[in-house]
């Protein structure tokens, strides 16, 4: 069901990409890299964070990086950011962790994409569940008006 929801979102936002189905779970970055036989640096992590005051912020980084909370707090002025828990992610996006598409946050909260994502020839993000991905040109994030910044360690 969530795969179909992801496809509807792709159509609505006019996102060009190649849908990839795989039999092995791609729930984590390493699982996805193994299932797709590619480097983690081409896998996207779509993360939802919550501030002390309950404000949401989404970040998109490559699988080989870690988000730098201090940099994010400085850029956004949000305080005490933490990763959203699995139920918060599902309630906010409609997708379970491991299946959250990088465009699931569009129009729902601010989204910041790490600048190094745009240096890639292609990236693969989750597409609704842990068995589907979407291969996209990272320039799509500029088209979606996502903020681009240095947010990783």
Question: What are the phi and psi torsion angles at 27 (to 5°)?
Answer: -60, -40
At 62-110, the pLDDT tens digits run 999 999 999 999 999 999 999 999 999 999 999 999 999 999 999 999 9
Q: What percent of the chain shows pLDDT beyond 70?
A: 99
42 contacts 135 by C-beta, under 8 angstroms: no
In this prediction, residues 126-151 reach a mean pLDDT of 96
Residue numbers of the domain that contains 123: 2-149
Q: How many domains does the chain have?
A: 1
Residue 124 pLDDT exceeds 90:
yes
CATH of the domain at 100: 3.90.960.10
The H or E element containing residue 121 is none
């Amino acid at each position: 069901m969530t795969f179909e929801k992801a496809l509807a979102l792709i159509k609505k936002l006019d996102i060009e990409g190649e849908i990839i189905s795989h039999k092995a779970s791609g729930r984590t970055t390493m699982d996805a890299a193994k299932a797709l036989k590619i480097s983690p640096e081409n896998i996207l992590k779509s993360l939802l964070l919550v501030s002390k005051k309950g404000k949401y912020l989404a970040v998109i980084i490559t699988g080989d990086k870690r988000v730098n909370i201090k940099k994010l707090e400085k850029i956004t002025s949000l305080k005490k950011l933490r990763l959203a828990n699995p139920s918060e992610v599902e309630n906010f996006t409609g997708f379970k962790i491991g299946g959250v598409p990088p465009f699931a946050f569009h129009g729902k909260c601010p989204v910041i994409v790490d600048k190094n994502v745009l240096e890639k020839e292609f990236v693969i993000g989750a597409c609704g569940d842990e068995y589907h991905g979407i291969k996209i040109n990272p320039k799509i994030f500029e088209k979606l008006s996502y903020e681009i910044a240095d947010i990783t360690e």
